[in-house]
Amino acid sequence: MLLYSLMQDLTQGLNPGQRDAVLLTEGPVLIVAGAGAGKTKTLTHRIGNIIQKGTPAEAILAITFTNKAAKEMRERVFRLLGLEHDAPVWGRPRGVPFIGTFHGLGMAILREKGEAIGITRSATIIDADDSYKLIKQSMAKAGIDPKQFEPRRIQSAISRHKGNMGTPEDIEKTTPNRFLGQTLRRVYTIYEATLRETQVLDFDDLLQKTVLLLETKPEICAYYTARWQYIHVDEYQDTNEVQYRLVQLLSGTKKNVCVVGDSDQNIYSWRGASIANILEFEEDYPGAKVILLEQNYRSTQTILSAANNVIAKNTMRKEKNLFTENDPGELISCFGSYDENDEARFIAGKIGGLLGQGVRPSTIAVLYRTNFQSRVLEEALLYSGIPYQVLGTRFYDRKEVKDVVAYLRAAENPLARFDLERVINVPARGVGKVTLEKIFRGERASLPATMRAKVDAFYALLARIAESAQTMKPSQLISFIITETGIEKMLSDGDDEDTERLANVRELVTVAMRYDAFEGKEGVEQLLADIALESDQDNMKSEQDAVRLMTIHAAKGLEFDQVFITGMEQDLFPSRRSQDESKDISEREEERRLFYVALTRAAKKVTLSYASFRTIFGQRQVNLPSEFLSDIGDNLLRHESRDGGTVARIEKPKRKVSLLGWDEEYDDGETVTYL
């Protein structure tokens, strides 16, 4: 155990709620933390306090949802402990708390103890794209037409089912449509068999298999409950069934579990997150203490008042009321545009004005409900010469980078068929589909002599990479792969686009240098793990001074000075699906929670916009302003025109919409008058 100098008063500078959370260390604790309430500071100081009281640092576990959040928490805790923030934290205890994501935790446990259920350390972790390809292959084996059943929907259904610890048999029983249920079961069965045969794990396996391990091997579960005496979980409202069960298993009999969350920010039910986990925490953990963190340190009071007004209409929540000591700030602006192009030009113009005032582009975000809305926004920003970055393009998704990583994974796990398929012809070797099938059937000896020589040379190359991985540092190994495989020469002999690709694979060497301090093969293993687990947010380069464009879901956990929320139209936001009276109330309330999350991303100013006409999937639609606009409160809104003047406020419940000189009648709606 490392010894630390933590004589500082860890409650200094904390508000009363934060202080209570830091000092209350025993038993189950629920911290209801509103947006911008300083939850990370609270958690890190709580961890520091536990260590200060004499608990070994390695006895503390903290789980987050994103690498970004884990990195921030790790850096803060390590600063409190007087350690370098990049100290190794994975694998065996090294005198530091374990701070990582749910999936990172699952990977670490499976790496240590997974062989007890047949999972080797060399098992390959595949990302969502590779999983999708495997789903398509499984559908083909099952004879299922991808035109009849969209593969992405099949993938999503299986992923969500795995998050609920469901089997292929379960998915058939729980799917209302019998034919669809049978289809899902067939694909799920083939998909799982392929994963097992090739020693491959998808993201969902990292948690599902971990829970299976802990539930079926009591001695291993006891090992981890003894190892981690204090458990902290961030964003608890976003946990699904498998994450819920994992926390319960690890909390053991002591139940020293502290969860932080906000029911008002539960926006991921579509991927299995259950709001019931936070709402029923006190039932699940009898004697639990509840602490409210309501003071916001991010936003103006105007923004918080708007958010409070919006979310107050929901019933499924832990009640709280955000406040701040910050300035009241500007009113929320609202612009009604003619169509989506007019809306985009308005936003580009406003952003251009801000940049002219010296505002940095990276402090501005443009948020939208769905991805299709980004196109016209990108065009308007590009035309205006405004730098922007669309969240969602991962560095590791680039072909040339995936090729290098696939070589490394194939060397580590020769059973991973899709990695072999990816790189056996990179650079070109003339290996066709017939040859590949013979290879995978174990019939290499039957190949013609010339082809067999090519294939043997490829496998010899993989063997050299695997051997080099035993002694080389990760950065050296990546450089070795780039050179020895011929990728470097292939890209060097190409055009300007290939030159850029070569720069990308060389950047991978720089990335790998972060792992050179690890011992033995652990650096390579951790490099592959982090590549697999990287999220879109992790790839958002903070050094790139550009306006951020993203969906509201992607913006969760981020903050910006200036936030533009576009497409504030009924049937778009809230979505038409959520307004279906046959839908459960939770779906309608989740849309309101999504708007609440969007509002609270802003520190200084929110600008809302909507379009009277919008073309969606080739259809020109006439729109009503979103009901959320009237939820905000007239005293907090300023309706403006393109020239900066004001327009009449939105009125309800009149049934007429005046659209730039002509009127349309609707069954219900609002009156928008343009001046």
The token pair at 32 is: 């209801």
Residue written as token pair 């969606």: 616
Residue 547: helix, strand or coil by DSSP?
Answer: strand
Q: Which residues contact 623 (CB under 8 A, 6 or more apart)?
A: 569, 570, 571, 572, 610, 611, 612, 613, 614
Residue 566: name the closest of 388, 343, 351 by CA: 343
Q: Which residues contact 378 (CB under 8 A, 6 or more apart)?
A: 388, 390, 549
The token pair at 530 is: 């982090």
Residue 275: helix, strand or coil by DSSP?
Answer: coil
Task: Please identify which of the residues 42, 64, 243, 265 carries the catalytic annotation.
Answer: 265
Residue 265 annotated to the active site: yes
Q: CA 28 → CA 17, 39, 218, 274, 281, distances in Å? A: 16, 17, 22, 19, 9
The values of phi and psi at residue 385, to 5°, are: 70, 25
Task: Please identify which of the residues 25, 40, 52, 248 carries the catalytic annotation.
Answer: 40
Strands 656-659 and 637-640: unpaired
Residue 327 annotated to the active site: no
Query: Given CA atoms 638, 640, 645, 648 in this order, what sign does their dihedral have?
Result: negative
Enumerate the H helices of 603-667 as residue ranges.
627-632
Q: What share of the chain is helix, strand, coil (3-state, %, to 5)?
A: 50, 15, 35
Which burial class, exposed, middle or buried, applies to 283 when counting CB atoms under 10 A from its CB (0-12, 13-18, 19+)? exposed
Task: Please identify which of the residues 320, 601, 605, 614 carries the catalytic annotation.
Answer: 601
Residue written as token pair 């010899």: 460
The token pair at 45 is: 């100081």
CA 586 to chain centroid: 22
Residue 570 annotated to the active site: no
Beta strands in 238-329 (DSSP E): 257-261, 289-293
Cis-peptide, bond into residue 16, ω within 30° of zero: no
The answer to whether 360 touches 544, Cβ cutoff 8 Å, is no
Residue written as token pair 């005032």: 357
Residue 39 annotated to the active site: yes
Number of other residues whose CB lies within 10 A of the CB of residue 567: 22
CA gap 354, 356 in Å, rounded? 5
Residue 115 annotated to the active site: no
The token pair at 350 is: 């406003």
The token pair at 450 is: 């010339």
Task: Please identify which of the residues 234, 340, 525, 589 carries the catalytic annotation.
Answer: 234
Q: Which residues contact 236 (CB under 8 A, 6 or more apart)?
A: 30, 259, 260, 261, 277, 278, 281
Residue 235 annotated to the active site: yes
CA gap 455, 459 in Å, rounded? 6
Per this entry, what is the length of the chain? 675
Task: Please identify which of the residues 39, 160, 345, 605 carries the catalytic annotation.
Answer: 39
The values of phi and psi at residue 643, to 5°, are: -85, 5
The token pair at 362 is: 């990276």
Enumerate the H helices of 357-495 as residue ranges.
374-383, 399-412, 417-423, 433-440, 449-468, 474-484, 487-492
Q: Which residues pair with 225 in a beta bridge?
A: none
Active site residues: 39-40, 234-235, 265, 601
